[in-house]
Amino acid sequence: MILKHSSRTLPVHYDGDILIIDQFHQFAPSWGDGKKTQVAVSLVEDWILEQHKAYNFASVVLDQYNSSSTIQRLSGKVKIRELTWTASSKTEAYSKLRELFNGGNIELYHHPKANGQIKNLTVTYRPNGTWGVSGGTGAAVDDYPSALAGATLMATRRINKQQIIPAKSYRTW
């Protein structure tokens, strides 16, 4: 399975009870207006198709951020799932990720930036009974951990045979 979050992708698989992170991949910005840089969506989609061709992933998971055009373009070529982040799904994802770390059942790919973000994660419990996860202050300080949590959630659901809703193709006619 491969998960796309922001400009990061994360192929993962289970080997028995161990979640193996095969790779952390970040796309370099390909254009910008001088203030903000962007990654060309076509580069991400081409990479996903190349990886799928090489490894035949069971599915590709996209989170809900800027994914509708990619779902539309790739839906006939790969099995696509969409992860919608909600308070409930974040709680489930980070809880499963914590469980894997506590049990020693996760094998991380060596990637200093990603692993640094994971090490910097903090959980904040609020007086109203909710909690949040943060990688610190600034932009993109928890993108890799978010991708990892999402991949963990979707891989675990797939292994446990929980229903995962297929992505809808957002075709306009």
Q: What is the pLDDT of residues 82-109, one digit of tens each?
A: 888 888 888 888 889 889 999 999 999 8
pTM of the model: 0.77
170 versus 114: which is more confidently predicted? 114
Residue 166, in any domain of the structure: no
Average pLDDT, the chain: 80
> How far is 1 from 57, CA to CA, in rounded Å?
5
Residue 169, in any domain of the structure: no
Q: Of 117, 153, 126, nearest to 1 (Cα)?
A: 153
Q: Of 9, 35, 12, nearest to 139 (Cα)?
A: 35
Q: Is the per-residue pLDDT at 16 higher than 80?
A: yes
Residue 167, in any domain of the structure: no
Residue 68, in any domain of the structure: yes
Print the domain residue range for 20: 2-159
How many domains does the structure of the chain reveal? 1
SS3 call for 148: helix
Residues 6+ apart with CB under 8 A from 95: none
Residues 6+ apart with CB under 8 A from 44: 4, 7, 9, 27, 70
| Residues 124 and 130: beta-carbon distance below 8 Å | no
- Lowest model confidence (mean pLDDT) among 44-53, 82-91, 95-104, 131-140: 131-140
Residue 173, in any domain of the structure: no
Pairing of strands 80-83, 60-63: parallel
63 versus 45: which is more confidently predicted? 45
Residue 155, in any domain of the structure: yes
Residue 79, in any domain of the structure: yes
Residue 95, in any domain of the structure: yes
- The CATH number that applies at residue 20 is 3.30.420.240
